[in-house]
Chain A
Amino acid sequence: MHGARPPRTTAPRPAAGAAVAVRRRPPGRLLDAAAIGLLVLFLAAALPSGLWHACNQIGHAVDTSESREDARARVYGEDYSRAIDRIRAALAPGEGYILVEGGRPGSGGVYWVRYDLAPRPAANVGPLADLTSGAQLRRRLSANLRHVVVAFDTRKPPRLYERYQFVEEIERRARKGPG
């Protein structure tokens, strides 16, 4: 024979947001404690650094007398920003150019240069290491473009070439061979 039915350990489901106290069994209490403990740990770990970061940014914004050019130089690198300005001056805003990846594949260098030179359209011909002759370069292009920009890794300044100079350069490199 079974004994008396044990009393309900949980109250009926409360209405949304209602402040109804609910009793819990020990495993449930342990879960509650874990949830609250992890919440406190998360806030203790994340909040001070988040607030510190925010206060730093606010302080920097209040203190700074930096120009837009100085900010670009600080974030992207001084040499890089100067090289971008030189290329912008040499290429008209609507003039297309040949973009070559001179840095490590996936370093993002071509994206940064393409963004900084936009709205000048870019025809990307791939990695520099793959280019060995003017004929090969021509095959990869569908437009007759005069300038070549070689992008390198992040913060490294890109280089601008006249197309004929670039072709000379890659053919000389191809003759010398790897290394």
Chain B
Amino acid sequence: MTGELAGGLGAVALFAVPGYGLTELFPTLRRLRPPLRLAYGYLLGVAAVAGALFALSHVAGVPLRPPAVWASVGAPALAGLAAGLWRRHRRRAARAPSPTSARRAAPRGSRFGRLVPAACALAAATICLGVFAEALINPPHDWDGRMTWCAQARYIRAAGTVDAPVLREVSWDISHPQYPLLMPVAQVAALEAFGADPDSHLPRAIYAAFLPALLLVIHAAARRGAGPVAAAVATLAAAAAPFMILGEGGAESTYSDLPLGCFYGAGLALLLGARPRAESGLAAGLLLAAAALTKNEGAPLACLALALGWRSGRAGVRRFAAAALPLVLALALFASWRAGVPNREDEGYPQLLYAGGFWSGIAAHAQAAVPVMVDKMNRFRHWAGFWWMVPAALLAGRRALGRPIARRWLAAAAGPPAIALLAYSIHPRPAYLAAVTWERFLLQATVPLLVLLAYALAEVGRHLAGSSRRQGDGSVPLARST
């Protein structure tokens, strides 16, 4: 157990340390509170290390072995360290007060406003720790993890390249050979860095660490528009939903859906931030590039995020360009890699679309898929009533959803379900496809959806405050202490 714990922590640190270093290069991320900075650091670390290894292996033929892994880890970590030291040196030379000391103390809210976020944070941290513990004691036991992602990692690790013969030769059996390989490459990086046994549980820790990153990103994005109490409750709702932890694609699995949801949501949160800055655009671009290299649907989602982050004016254009550059490079890399991998079993969605099946099939296929989708969301064992609560809250707090920023989050939340519906409309077996994918598309939309839930809950809190004030009670349940 001690070995697995050390290995798991090492695997997470392998990405968190260089990613934390990278945050030093982006002022927007550098100024975040340490836990949130670490969350962004972890996501950027996976994006940078696994993305660099993917590119080095495919473009330059660099073997996926410890020297390449440590170089990919060391470069951003050292760049961050150098940038940090240089910044401190300059600050000392200028004798400017440090941002930490200059940071204004947060206003102290009511006891309710302090207790609720603290209790939610404690519960969410316990759930995250449980997920990490489960990852350390069990080998992968989910369907797609063993069928696709972890199997791919074993093949490319053995071959030392992302262009493994098993992927490129049509005679070998492999599930979804054309799926993007960012997460399998991340597994290989961790296993190679520590010389781990193929049966090691170490790669599972990489997936487990995405849950706290997701919750921190949700909380920070929600807090900006909804206040700490509503943000904390919405974040806790994400952590408490059983499917989020135990489902096929949840935090205890080795599917790529939760990582995709993290990259997409974190990129969006940076792009929808208050001020358009080129450096935050670049950080968002790195995250969206990772989204495009994590799953097939990552590319359209990344493009949607980019479009939603558009702001006019010179600063907006500069940020857009900075965000688009890494995404374009990632898409070019993916297209080049994929061109060498023959498809064996995946649906040819573009061909199905060109064949004219979309408009004719949309009604008939929806008739088949929608009952399955509703049934999945109604399963108490999977969601514990989450999908009964969310529509009610959004309806009750709908005034909050009229703000321009909320409308962008709403469009972002609609992205993954829209891709799902498009796929169901042209797939020959829509009910089957909906049964195995719908809940995972919902996971991908977690960040924007939970941000909207927080906005709506804050609005409901304002309504309740109005009622209770009329009745002489001064408490303000959800919207106070902003």
Decide if B157 is an interface residue (CB 8 Å cutoff).
Answer: yes
Contacts A51-B127, A71-B137 given: A32-B396 contact, CB under 8 Å? yes
Interface string of B442-482 (1 = CB under 8 A from A): 00000000000000111110111111011000001001111
Decide if B437 is an interface residue (CB 8 Å cutoff).
Answer: no
Decide if B57 is an interface residue (CB 8 Å cutoff).
Answer: no
Residue B130 contacts which of A53, A64, A76, A108 (CB distance < 8 angstroms)? A53
Decide if A89 is an interface residue (CB 8 Å cutoff).
Answer: no
In whole angstroms, what is the CA distance A14 to B139 when docked? 50
In the complex, what residues of B have CB within 8 A of residue A49's CB? Answer: 242, 384
Contact between A34 and B396, CB atoms less than 8 A apart: yes
Which residues 294-345 of B sit at the A interface, judged by CB distance below 8 A?
none
Decide if B375 is an interface residue (CB 8 Å cutoff).
Answer: no
Q: Chain A contact residues: over half helix, strand or loop, or mixed?
A: helix
Decide if A13 is an interface residue (CB 8 Å cutoff).
Answer: yes
In the complex, what residues of B have CB within 8 A of residue A34's CB? Answer: 392, 396
In the complex, what residues of A have CB within 8 A of residue B140's CB? Answer: 115
Contact between B166 and A121, CB atoms less than 8 A apart: yes
Which residues 5-47 of B sit at the A interface, judged by CB distance below 8 A?
5
In the complex, what residues of B have CB within 8 A of residue A118's CB? Answer: 151, 154-155, 158, 198
Contact between B392 and A35, CB atoms less than 8 A apart: yes
Residue B389 contacts which of A22, A23, A38, A141 (CB distance < 8 angstroms)? A38
How close is B268's CB to chain A, nearest CB, in angstroms?
A: 17
Residue B399 contacts which of A10, A18, A55, A96 (CB distance < 8 angstroms)? A10
- What residue of chain A has the Cβ atom nearest to residue B169's Cβ? A121
- What residue of chain A has the Cβ atom nearest to residue B133's Cβ? A61
In the complex, what residues of B have CB within 8 A of residue A60's CB? Answer: 133, 137
Which residues 219-246 of B sit at the A interface, judged by CB distance below 8 A?
223-227, 233, 236-237, 239-242, 245-246
Which residues 276-292 of B sit at the A interface, judged by CB distance below 8 A?
none
Residues of A that sit less than 8 Å from B by CB: 10-11, 13-14, 16-24, 28-29, 31-32, 34-36, 38-39, 41-43, 45-47, 49-51, 53-58, 60-62, 64-66, 68-69, 71-72, 75-76, 93-94, 96, 99, 108, 111-112, 114-115, 118-119, 121-124, 141-143
User: What are the nearest 5 A-B pairs in CB distance?
Assistant: A54-B130, A119-B158, A124-B173, A61-B133, A118-B154
The 26 listed contacts between A and B (C-beta, < 8 Å) are A13-B402, A19-B227, A19-B481, A22-B466, A23-B470, A29-B467, A31-B392, A42-B386, A43-B240, A46-B241, A47-B236, A49-B384, A50-B127, A50-B245, A55-B126, A65-B1, A71-B139, A93-B158, A96-B172, A118-B155, A119-B157, A121-B165, A121-B166, A121-B172, A141-B171, A142-B170
